[in-house]
Amino acid sequence: MSISSPDTCISHNNNNLPNLSNKSNGMRGNKYNCNNSGTPRTRLERLLRERELRKFNKSLNDGETELSNNDSFSPDSFEAFSWFNDEESLETISANRCSTDGCERQDSRTSRERLLVVANRLPVSAVRRGVDSWHLEISVGGLVSALLGVKEFETRWIGWAGVNVPDEIGQRALIKALAEKRCIPVFLDEEIVHQYYNGYCNNILWPLFHYLGLPQEDRLATTRSFQSQFDAYKKANQMFAEVVKEHYVEGDVVWCHDYHLMFLPKCLKERNRKMKVGWFLHTPFPSSEIHRTLPSRSELLRSVLAADLVGFHTYDYARHFVSACTRILGLEGTPEGVEDQGRLTRVAAFPIGIDSDRFIRALELPQVQDHMKELKERFAGRKVMLGVDRLDMIKGIPQKILAFEKFLEENPNWRDKVVLLQIAVPTRTDVPEYQKLTSQVHEIVGRINGRFGTLTAVPIHHLDRSLDFHALCALYAVTDVALVTSLRDGMNLVSYEFVACQASKKGVLILSEFAGAAQSLGAGAILVNPWNVTEVASSIGYALNMPADEREKRHHHNFVHVTTHTSQEWAATFVSELNDTIVEAQLRTRQIPPPLPIEVAVDRYAKSNNRLLILGFNATLTEPVDTLGRKGSQIKEMEPKLRPDLQEPLRKLCDDPKTTIVVLSGSDRSVLDDNFGDYSMWLAAENGMFLRATKGDWMTTMPENLNMEWVDSVKHVFEYFTERTPRSHFELRETSLIWNYKYADVEFGRLQARDLLQHLWTGPISNASLDVVQGSRSIEVRSVGVTKGAAIDRILGEIVHNKGMKEPIDYVLCIGHFLAKDEDIYTFFEPELPSEVPAPVRSHVTPPVRTSVSKLSTSRSLSREDRLKKHRPMPTIERSKSYHVNTDVFQSRVVDRMSLQEGSSVLDLQGDNYFSCSVARKRSNARYLLRSSDDVVKLLTELTNSWIDSMNTDGSTMEGN
């Protein structure tokens, strides 16, 4: 290998390894050339490049460093580096991130990215030896070994040490002892541990997530228990958050683990929105029908959604989580995750693995070889079957043993030729349910051994204890058939460990389809339903009689997966995806308008002389709708009502002679009449196709050549899908039809909408000049050109003519929750501003752009500059004094036509005096963002107060004069 100067690329004689460009430009190079233009542009390109870099670094590290074979735990375990400069290669990986995070690198050799691992328990157990002395013992587990192997990060652990330390001296001593192991303790008192850990975590969440249901105690007692335990759960999570905050450094990655800390992402994000937070669940996540039985279901889901990346072991669990968010919270599920008002929480599957090299190397150790020799002599002439499980209800140990009994009953020729070794590691021995399970297993084992055993041998060897690592590896190596019959398991790494130790034996794995590992090892294992005792017994016979060539093929498939999908790769992949999710979020944020500076908008309003306010209706001036239909009445919500707290501000603004208000909505005219009939304003219904002042009659602004022959055919389609989709409805309007499924089952409604669209495009509207507008949970069909932006200049011209407006409009405020098709209204008023002026708050005044109201071409052929600066005559406005509507056939009787010619300029709009605001939609063409209709209330109230203050000031001035 040759390493060239900083101005060239790093090359390698292995074509499979990536070429790394110089890091001076802060970007990663292209794999196939040294051109800086090879910067990854998409998320997939970035992840692939990062994966190649990990492989490249691993290939270098493998020649220089090895993980220790013993179980010792020291800070050096986190610091192992090869002679190749890992910081240098990592610099190329993270340069993009640092540029978006705003961090500045003082030197090319900076420290590695810090990873804060937050779990319920620390990877060590603390035993007190004196007042200020502690003994620490390593807790060997999948998560520990997984993160020890990730050398790209400087890892810190945060968690509970497993002991109650009430005195300050003991706490200081423990903190000091743990600091040497890069561990940070969270101190929980006994009551919190009892309510939080033993109560809510193990008594409520754990059974529910494993499909065992909620406790069935007395209803009143259960309710009290739920609330007190959930309060303790939240308090414990907040205590974890305080410790994280204390040790957090800007740029750290915070990785939260398991169901114990579901509330933690929300706590962390409330303290620091920029914090990189990931959350991973090591158990199954139940279907939405199971999860919705949990009293705190919504709060927990929203807390987890505060994380940037949510990870699960399998796609099934990820799918269940997204389904729960859509069905319980009413949010939008996407292939990438869950979206809530433009903010995306990425949800993905990350199957964990094991440190396979550790098991493979262990088989060569003398002590393991001695164990293997002893076991082979002990069970010579007999096939060995193995089960290694925690003594837990979900592990299916009784079902496994009963299936083995069934096999012995049906295959008497195997009774002296096979033995089942069952290792059952005791857990929670003080819990009555576990004590009952232990007695049950012992009873079944005794009965079977008494029935099929002899004086010299018994068919089942059952051990209620754990084995050390070397003895376990030897047992895996001599086993012919491994039997994993979990009733429900997040992953089950016993199956991985067995495969890793079977290089010579090539034994068969019988695996429960309800274990997460079934999705990874299913092709090489024999999948069974553990509840079907007959099926498991038959699979045991098939495994024992399997031909050698088939055993070898099955083992090879599993072995390749286990050795490539290691625990280290799992951890590195998750953190890599988390970092990339942050990059994606930052790129997405650039498309999101900044929050509206209300003070600036109000100040500009007060200083202007002729103001125009254009307001949307639905989701802008109305109360938020409960799409799940749990609160209030769906019938009432189908009839949108003006928010009560907006009535007074709107009424006062309408009294301001310098202010013209237009409510521009897609709703029917009757809806606007019912809500605004008493206000002195302008109403524009059906996307601006109908217009009236509240003291006048409705007129139509529809183009003369608008074709409505398509209505009947589309109406029949909408009727059909309304009948087959419960809780959906459609609305028949003068210029459009809308099918709405926001109250229907989310997933079913989405499927029906897809079928409806497919039917429309291939049938009724295949040759029609129509627009199909998709809302979040609606489909609208309208004629081409029927948009709010296309109608606004005709509306404005009529308003100017009607009011006899002489003074130019110098202030425009446009607010709405408009569909993407209607967002052309935001750009219609947009003055030509210098490109360097940022959108949020423009500090200087740009030259005014004077323009007359001109007809907006429906083909959008005119540029914005042409539309704003070129004066042309107003279009014909059709004024109707009597307007008859038939719900089946669109009819209109035009009584009078008049042509309006606007001869003077009506807009004198400076850049600082135009405020376009999108409500609740993150990505928009609008300049600014209002989070909800609550912010609309605040803004209009401020405008009202500003006008009242100016009136009082003017009155005082006149009195003084």
pLDDT of res. 12: 35
Average pLDDT over residues 304-315: 96
Residue 831: band (very low, low, confident or very high) from pLDDT cuts 50, 70, 90: low
Q: What are the structure tokens assigned to 4, written together?
A: 């060239």
Q: Is the pLDDT of residue 339 over 50?
A: yes
Task: Tell me which of 759 and 269 has the higher pLDDT.
Answer: 269
Residue pair 296/223 in contact by the 8 Å Cβ criterion: no
Spatial contact of 732 and 780, defined as CB atoms under 8 Å apart: no
Query: Residue 777: its pLDDT value, please?
Result: 84
- Predicted confidence at residue 583, as pLDDT, reads 85
pLDDT tier for residue 222 given thresholds of 50, 70 and 90: low
pLDDT greater than 90 at residue 19:
no
Q: Which pLDDT score, from 0 to 100, does residue 841 have? A: 37
Give me the pLDDT at residue 835, please. Answer: 36
Residue 422 tokens, joined: 């069952």
Which whole number is the average pLDDT over 161-185? Answer: 89
> 9 pLDDT exceeds 60?
no
CA-to-CA distance for 373 and 723, rounded, in angstroms?
72
- According to DSSP H, which parts of 565-709 are helical? 567-589, 598-607, 634-637, 644-654, 669-676
Phi, psi of 458, deg, nearest 5? -125, 150
pLDDT at 837: 36
Task: Report the pLDDT value the prediction gives residue 628, as an integer from 0 to 100.
Answer: 52
How much is the average pLDDT of 187-202? 91
The SS3 call for residue 360 is helix
- In sequence order, which ranges of 29-141 are alpha helices (DSSP H)? 43-62, 76-79, 86-101
Tokens representing 415?
């009774």
The per-residue pLDDT for 151 is 67
pLDDT of residue 216: 72
What does the pLDDT read at residue 875? Answer: 35
Region 237-256: mean pLDDT is 95
Task: Quote the pLDDT of residue 686.
Answer: 86
- Three-state DSSP class for 597? coil
Over 50: is that where the pLDDT of 308 sits? Answer: yes
Count CB neighbours of 828 within 10 A: 22
148 DSSP β-pair partners = none
Choose from 173-182, 328-337, 505-514, 731-740 the range with maximum mean pLDDT.
505-514
AA identity, residue 101:
D
- Please report which residue ranges of 345-421 form alpha helices under DSSP H: 356-362, 366-378, 397-410
pLDDT value of position 197: 92
Task: Answer yes or no: are the C-beta atoms of 53 and 580 closer than 8 Å.
Answer: no
Give the pLDDT mean for 134-142. Answer: 75
Over 80: is that where the pLDDT of 253 sits? yes
The answer on pLDDT for 198 being more than 80 is yes
Range of weakest confidence among 387-391, 411-415, 714-718, 774-778: 774-778
H helical segments located in 763-873: 788-803, 824-828, 864-869
pLDDT at 626 (0 to 100): 56
Regarding predicted confidence, which is higher, 100 or 364?
364
Q: What six digits make up the tokens of 87?
A: 């910081």
Residue ranges and CATH numbers for the domains of the chain are 114-215+223-349 (3.40.50.2000), 356-565 (3.40.50.2000), 598-624+640-689+787-830+911-947 (3.40.50.1000), 710-783 (3.90.1070.10)
Q: What digits encode the pLDDT tens for the residues 762-812? A: 777 777 778 888 877 888 888 877 788 778 878 888 888 888 777 888 899
For the segment 697-751, what is each residue's pLDDT rounded down to a tens digit?
888 877 767 777 888 888 888 898 999 999 888 888 878 888 988 888 888 888 8
Q: How far apart are the first and last CA of the chain?
A: 90
What percentage of the chain has pLDDT greater than the value 90?
A: 42
Tokens of 891: 């009819």
636 or 676, which is more confident? 676
pTM exceeding the 0.75 threshold for the entire prediction? no
- Please say if the pLDDT value at position 494 is more than 90: yes
Q: Which residue has the higher pLDDT, 747 or 626?
A: 747
The most confident of the ranges 23-32, 327-336, 483-492 is 483-492
Query: SS3 of 47, please?
Result: helix
Q: What is the mean pLDDT of the chain?
A: 78
Overall average pLDDT of the 835-857 stretch: 35
- Give 262's contacts (C-beta < 8 A, 6+ positions apart): 205, 237, 279, 300, 303, 304
The pLDDT score that the predictor gives to residue 148 is: 65
pLDDT category at 508 given cuts 50, 70, 90 is very high
The dihedral region occupied by 764, where left means phi > 0, alpha psi between -120 and 50, and beta the remainder, is: alpha
Q: Return the H-helix or E-strand segment holding 512.
A: strand 508-512
Q: Residue 868: is its pLDDT beyond 70?
A: no
Q: Rounded mean pLDDT of 112-130?
A: 88
Judged by average pLDDT, the poorest of 167-181, 184-198, 739-753, 868-882 is 868-882
What residues contact 553, with CB distance under 8 A and at least 6 apart? 524
- Name which of 64, 39, 49 is nearest 17 in CA terms: 49
CA-CA distance, 328 to 746, in Å (whole number)? Answer: 10
Choice between 48 and 720, residue whose per-residue pLDDT is larger: 720
Which residues, other chains included, contact 53 with Cβ-Cβ below 8 Å and sequence gap of 6+?
18, 20, 28, 89, 92, 93
Name the band, by pLDDT with cuts 50, 70 and 90, for residue 401: very high
Residue 768 amino acid letter: A
Cα Rg of the chain, angstroms: 35
Q: Strand, coil or helix: what is 125?
A: strand
pLDDT at 913 over 80: yes
pLDDT exceeds 70 at position 217? no
In sequence order, the 6+-apart residues with CB closer than 8 A to the CB of 69 are 358, 361, 362, 365
Six-digit token string for 514:
């309800």
Phi–psi pair at 311, nearest 5 degrees: -120, 150
- Three-state secondary-structure class, residue 292: coil
pLDDT at 55 over 80: no
Model pLDDT, residue 933: 87
Residue 476 reports pLDDT greater than 90: yes
Task: Please report which confidence band the pLDDT of residue 29 belongs to, taking 50, 70 and 90 as the band edges.
Answer: very low
